[in-house]
Amino acid sequence: MNVYVVLKQTFDTEEKVVLQDGRVSEEGVKFVINPYDEYAVEEAIRIKEAAGGTVTVVSVGPERTAEALRTALAMGADEAVLIADDRIPADEYALSRVLAAFFADQAYDVVLGGNFSVDNGAGQVAVRLAELLGIPHVSSVTKLELSGGEAAVQRDAEGDLETLAVRLPALFTAQQGLNEPRYPSLPGIMKAKKKPFRQLTLDDLSVTPEQIAARTARAELFLPAPRQAGRVLEGELPAQAAQLVQLLRTQSNVL
Amino acid sequence: MAEQMTEKVLGGSFVIADPDYRTIVTPDELTEEQRMIAETTADFVEGDVLPVDEELEKLDYELTVKLMKQAGELGLLGADVPEAYDGLGLDKVSSTLISERLAKASSFALSIGAHVGIGTLPIVYFGSAEQKKKYLPSLATGAKIAAYCLTEPSSGSDALGAKATARLSEDGKHYVLNGTKQFITNAGFADVFIVYAKVDGKEFSTFIVERTMEGVSVGPEEKKMGIKGSSTRPLILEDVKVPVENLLWEVGKGHLIAFNILNIGRFKLAVGCLGGAKEAIQLSSRYANERTQFGKPIASFPLIGAKLAEMNVRTYVLESMVYRTAGLMDTGLGGIDHDSPEAGKQSAKAIAEYALECSINKVFGSETLDFVADEGVQIHGGYGFIQEYKIERIYRDSRINRIFEGTNEINRLLIPGTLIKRAMKGELPLMQKAQALQAELLQLVPGQTFEGTLEEETHLLAMAKKIFLMAGGAAVQKFQLKLEQEQEVLSHLADMMIQIYALESALLRTKKRIDKLGEEKAGLAVAMTRVFAQEAFEKIESLARETLAAVDTGDMLRTQLSVLKKLTRRTPVNTVELRRQIAARVIQSETYVC
Ligand SMILES: Cc1cc2nc3c(=O)[nH]c(=O)nc-3n(C[C@H](O)[C@H](O)[C@H](O)COP(=O)(O)OP(=O)(O)OC[C@H]3O[C@@H](n4cnc5c(N)ncnc54)[C@H](O)[C@@H]3O)c2cc1C
């Protein structure tokens, strides 16, 4: 079974986001494997442990991403590929194109990714990749069982549970609950540096910057307003309800 | 990191040398692997230990042993065990990171510490190939757990006064051990006991005793002030037949094993204190931001800020000292050939080299944590006295660190004692330096002005070393061989050395940080170093004055004091303002920062 994991390196969820010169400052920030991608890595390793094969972890990102990939190797992945190129825009369309170019000549049975990344939260790259590769995908999976070229999957459908059967090769994105990721063991960490690690650029993939021109542009970047103290409405219940509707209309503009 | 550790530094030489900041190891330049190792340790504590903290604290052997095995599977118990015996044979910086990150696990960290440190290391460094093969793989994985048994009811500090005996059986196959060991950490569940006993009541020796051997039993659990989740019981040996193969190293070498293992234990203890201090800062800074009084978070009151600043400063200094020392130990211990029949001798020599630094770490580390924990409780007010708040436990747990692994008094006596011994043996040119200084001191010290960053602190450090040499030289001259009985003077000399090593470690590290990050980003480290330099120098000055007054009288004393005055001439720095700057950073980040 050849399992691939597409992963992203993100801020540790405990980090405070600081804006500096119109950008999110990366100074002194601790980076981790995107938590949802970590479930994907764990699942891939479990598939390998049960059925044999290899686990390859792939990421598109800046050089620092190497550390996240090596963490995945330390957890038990076999090979890592980092596609690092300043010409790749931070845009889901572009990223999925780059990945698709990489996957074009790979032999994969299962591709795993995270449900979404905790930084941008778009949740698009993996499913776009499936579309470009022309393989089925199931997002937000909480259970994955493979046998005889098929996958029995459970997915979290906005709180409901959906059960599906999918033919391989296919792509799945991991949701919390799929598994409990292991920590890289110390022997694993020591072995990681000896495992194959390839670094590629757009040229290696024969992709031109024009082909992956961003489809989105960031208009503005700002921090959410600091949270206000909560307010407890008073009075009779119907009056409270009316007041609430009023506030949702006028103050928070959600209605 | 490895590439910097080229030249070997003599233990104790810091009091006379002027080391280049580029040669010291700091925690600011970890490799990716070292970061990952630290991360795994922290994740293990967070994910597996803290959720069962309450049960552990009630002293649950089964749970402790289970978690030890889990730690073993992750490789956390094998850092100091050579690869050939299923360990990882990591460098000391890596094993230091592990111990530091484990500290948050409180009592459980102590159980692990006793196992991997004083429990396992005697076999790592002094075991024969057969003993290593037999014991180390299971100790490295946590399949077996070790304990270290030196103390007895009637001999604690006076460890060599042990009464436990070993007698060779008539057929020469066994040593028969008798005696009682007191306060043995892990005794409740340990499988392997490193026991010190005197062969024929005379020659101090070390034995590997297994729990399953006939005649081995343990007394009841002690009811302790702190570290309540760790097991502390007496070990009772009644006619225990220990196979001669279980004699560690040789008959009569017990003191070398006992004290050298304690040296490492002392260093590791300081590492644990560092981890504890960082946690206390985190808890206290968060609390200070949450708690409001007079309509404001208490963190906004300068007195609370000053406490947080001081906690952070001392922790920075301790951290600098600990990693610098880890680097030193690596230079010595890295080169040991564990397969050589000479391994025991080599190990003893390599560890003994930095015995003095280990003692300094132990005293400074335990007293830093005590200070930080105490201020942490104070910041919490009444809630700090309530068990629901972890700072209460950190405060209680901290106290033992000044007592075990050699009390701080014993360590204080050892620090100058070791230095003087090394000088006497001609290993350090201490006397020559002291004499050269005499001549120099008679000359006028020109008034100094300082411009560059940390220039003044560099000067203060140089002066501090001179002051120490002057006071130490005077004491040695006056008391000569009787100095040993002048414990107060020795302890003052120890305190001067501790402050010098502490200040130098912080200063060199900060210079390295400036090199790497630039002055702006190293600004906090610079501020902390400046504050500490003032504090350390004040202490050294008053210790020296008291020492001189205890040594000399009349004209001689007046001359000495005027020299001291020359050496301590300086314009005070506004540490109040510096601490405010530091406090702002701690309060903003709600954690230890540098
Ligand atoms: C929780 C706990 C766990 C422990 N774990 C272990 C363990 O795993 N293995 C082990 O072997 N031991 C262990 N110990 C024992 C510990 O190392 C001793 O308690 C310690 O060394 C002090 O010995 P003591 O208690 O006999 O005190 P004493 O030696 O009686 O000291 C009492 C006081 O006298 C001072 N004093 C003693 N001699 C001198 C001197 N020459 N000059 C000036 N002052 C002096 C001491 O500093 C101290 O203040 C543990 C102790 C505790 C409490």
DSSP letter for each residue of A59-99: EES-TTHHHHHHHHHHHT--EEEEE--TTS-S-HHHHHHHH
Q: How far, in Å, CA of B163 to CA of B197, rounded? A: 7
CATH code where residue A39 lies:
3.40.50.620
Q: Give just the sign of the alpha carbon dihedral A196, A200, A205, A206.
A: negative
Q: Give the model confidence (pLDDT) of B468-487 as tens digits.
A: 999 999 999 999 989 999 99
Residue with tokens 């790979």: A106
> Confidence band (pLDDT; 50, 70, 90) for B445?
low
Q: Taking Cα atoms as reference points, which of A37, A221, A63, A220 lies closest to residue A118?
A: A37
Q: Is residue B204 part of a domain?
A: yes
Residues A185, B75: C-beta atoms closer than 8 Å = yes
- Total domains in chain A come to 1
Q: Is residue A247 part of a domain?
A: no
- pLDDT value of residue B5: 46
For chain B, the distance separating the N- and C-terminal CA atoms, rounded to the nearest angstrom, is 20
Statement to judge: residues B286 and B397 lie in one domain: yes
- pLDDT value of residue B444: 66
Domain that holds residue A192: 2-212
Residue with the nearest Cα to atom 27 of ligand 1? B156
Statement to judge: residues B445 and B511 lie in one domain: yes
Q: Is residue A249 part of a domain?
A: no
Instruction: Average the pLDDT over B38-47 and give the result.
Output: 96
Residues A185, B74: C-beta atoms closer than 8 Å = yes
Residue A206 has what DSSP assignment? T
How far is ligand 1, taken at its centre, from the CA of residue B403, in Å? 6
Q: Is residue A221 part of a domain?
A: no
> Confidence band (pLDDT; 50, 70, 90) for B1?
very low
Chain A residue with the nearest C-alpha to that of B78: A186
Statement to judge: residues B95 and B190 lie in one domain: no
Q: Give the model confidence (pLDDT) of B338-367 as tens digits.
A: 888 888 888 889 999 999 999 999 999 999
How far is ligand 1, taken at its centre, from the CA of residue A153, in Å? 61
Q: How far, in Å, CA of B224 to CA of B259, rounded? A: 25
- pLDDT value of residue B513: 97
Q: Which residues contact A83 (CB under 8 A, 6 or more apart)?
A: A58, A59, A60, A61, A98, A99, A102, A199, A200, A201, A202, A205
The preferred substitution site among B115, B366, B407 for testing ligand 1, maximizing ligand atoms within 8 Å of CB, is: B407
CATH code where residue B155 lies:
2.40.110.10
- Residues of chain A where predicted confidence (pLDDT) is lower than 50: none
Backbone angles phi, psi at A110, to 5 degrees: -135, 135
pLDDT of B176 > 90? The answer is yes
Q: How far, in Å, CA of B488 to CA of B474, rounded? A: 14
Statement to judge: residues B328 and B442 lie in one domain: no
- pLDDT value of residue B3: 43
Statement to judge: residues B120 and B224 lie in one domain: no
Statement to judge: residues B328 and B460 lie in one domain: no
Statement to judge: residues B225 and B323 lie in one domain: no
**Cβ-contact B5, B93 below 8 angstroms:** no
Q: Are strands B203-210 and B247-248 parallel, antiparallel or unpaired?
A: antiparallel
Statement to judge: residues B89 and B187 lie in one domain: no
Statement to judge: residues B92 and B74 lie in one domain: yes
Q: Taking Cα atoms as reference points, which of B94, B167, B510 lies closest to residue B329?
A: B94
Is the peptide bond between A169 and the residue preceding it cis, with omega within 30 degrees of 0?
Answer: yes
Single residue among B200, B218, B248 that ends a domain in this structure: B248
B74 shares contact with chain A (CB less than 8 Å): yes
Residue with tokens 């510096």: B578
**Cβ-contact B97, B41 below 8 angstroms:** yes
Q: Give the model confidence (pLDDT) of B369-404 as tens digits.
A: 999 999 999 999 999 999 999 999 999 999 999 999
Of B35, B39, B75, the CB nearest to A187: B75
Q: In this structure, what token pair is assigned to residue B508? A: 């060199």
Q: Are strands A150-157 and A160-167 parallel, antiparallel or unpaired?
A: antiparallel
Q: Is residue A242 part of a domain?
A: no
Domain that holds residue B402: 269-409
Q: Taking Cα atoms as reference points, which of A160, A99, A152, A156 lies closest to residue A125?
A: A99
CA distances from B472 to A81, B293, B361 (A): 61, 50, 21
Q: Of the listed B100, B152, B310, B405, which one is catalytic?
A: B405
Q: How far, in Å, CA of B413 to CA of A165, rounded? A: 74
- pLDDT value of residue B347: 87
Q: Residue B204 corresponds to which amino acid?
A: F
Residue with the nearest Cα to atom 7 of ligand 1? B184
**Cβ-contact B246, B197 below 8 angstroms:** no
Q: How far, in Å, CA of B586 to CA of B281, rounded? A: 8
Query: Is the distance from the beta carbon of residue B400 to the nearest atom of ligand 1 less than 6 Å?
Result: yes
Q: Is residue A232 part of a domain?
A: no
Q: Is residue B42 part of a domain?
A: yes
How far is ligand 1, taken at its centre, from the CA of residue B143, in Å? 30
B77 shares contact with chain A (CB less than 8 Å): no
Q: Is residue B592 part of a domain?
A: no
How far is ligand 1, taken at its centre, from the CA of residue B231, in Å? 17
Q: Is residue B158 part of a domain?
A: yes
Residue with tokens 């004393």: B557
Backbone angles phi, psi at A225, to 5 degrees: -60, 145
Q: Give the model confidence (pLDDT) of B187-229 as tens digits.
A: 999 999 999 999 999 999 999 999 999 999 999 999 999 999 9
Residue B15 has what DSSP assignment? G
Q: What residues are paired with B236 via a beta bridge?
A: B180, B217
pLDDT of B405 > 70? The answer is yes
Statement to judge: residues B231 and B298 lie in one domain: no
Query: Is the distance from the beta carbon of residue B299 to the nearest atom of ligand 1 less than 6 Å?
Result: no
Of A183, A185, A193, the CB nearest to B33: A193
Q: How far, in Å, CA of A174 to CA of B393, rounded? A: 40
- pLDDT value of residue B312: 98
Q: Is residue B261 part of a domain?
A: no
Query: Is the distance from the beta carbon of residue B41 to the nearest atom of ligand 1 less than 6 Å?
Result: no
**Helices then strands (H, E): number in chain B?**
19, 10
> Confidence band (pLDDT; 50, 70, 90) for B7?
low
Statement to judge: residues B244 and B277 lie in one domain: no
Q: How far, in Å, CA of B562 to CA of B558, rounded? A: 6
Beta-carbon contacts below 8 Å between A and B: 42
Q: Taking Cα atoms as reference points, which of B234, B237, B238 lies closest to residue B221?
A: B234
Q: In this structure, what token pair is assigned to residue A99? A: 């990945």
Q: Is residue B51 part of a domain?
A: yes
Single residue among B145, B171, B197 that ends a domain in this structure: B145
Q: Give the model confidence (pLDDT) of A47-87 as tens digits.
A: 999 999 999 999 999 999 999 999 999 999 999 999 999 99
Statement to judge: residues B41 and B55 lie in one domain: yes
A159: left (phi over 0), alpha (psi -120 to 50) or beta: left
Residue with tokens 């109040």: B576
Q: In this structure, what token pair is assigned to residue B401? A: 């660190």
- Total domains in chain B come to 4
